[in-house]
Amino acid sequence: MEKYAKGEAELWDLPQIYEWQFDAAVPEKFPYNKYVNLRDSYYAQGLNFLKNFQGYEDIKILGVEEEFVLDIDDWQFNGIIDLVFQDEDGRLIIRDYKSKASFKNDDEKYKYARQLYLYALYVKEKYGRYPDELQFLMFRKQKDPVRIPFNLEDLNEALQWAKDTVCIIRNAFDYPAQCEEFYSENLCNHREYCPLKIKSKYKKKKR
């Protein structure tokens, strides 16, 4: 999608590029699922999206994979924006691609939206105005993007959440382990040598 947005790849070449480069780009082992091979499922859904992708019509692309560093209080916020564009009506839009299938509810959607609201601070600094809309394109299962009209109150909430999170991190001295089974078994970067994980495996074997 980055190559296409930058004019480095043609629309009709995207499925083939995906097929050639998927294994190199996604070398990780997928979690086990008794109902479906997740790797095959994700691969097929991504390929289907690209085969049906119609390209960008009537929009003006302003930024692609744009990395930035923004000063907030006495710390810095770093981000990479997938896509910034103006639609045919001149509205300024931030779009983020997600492999997540969907949001469980509105509460989860707005927690994810904090990311794009923080991106909006940079967009305001660079383009002189806040975006009109935030979008998540859940490309595996949804053809149309999830659209969130920009809201200044939600921006302020996201900014305060970020500031509060930094304060919590700075004031923390103890970091108690939170060993959620699925993530610790399949996704944690330290799962191969984590003492809690090893202990958990040992208990299962004893049973």
Average pLDDT over residues 77-105: 95
Identify the band that residue 38 occupies on the pLDDT scale cut at 50, 70 and 90: very high
Q: Which residues of 137-171 are buried (b: 16+ CB within 10 A; e: fewer)?
A: bbbbeeeebbebebeeebbeebbeebeeeeeeeee
pLDDT score, position 186: 76
pLDDT score, position 206: 53
Position 81: which residue type?
I
Q: Is the pLDDT of residue 136 over 50?
A: yes
Does residue 85 contact residue 56 with C-beta atoms inside 8 Å?
yes
| Element spanning 113, H or E | helix 106-127
Position 2: which residue type?
E
pLDDT tens by residue, 177-207: 777 777 777 778 787 778 776 665 545 555 5
Choice among 74-83, 93-102, 125-134, 197-206 with the minimum mean pLDDT: 197-206
DSSP annotation string for 51-107: HH-----S-EEEEEEEEEEEEETTEEEEEEEEEEEE-TT--EEEEEEE-S---SSHH
- Residue 92's DSSP bridge partners are 86
pLDDT score, position 64: 96
| Element spanning 133, H or E | strand 133-138
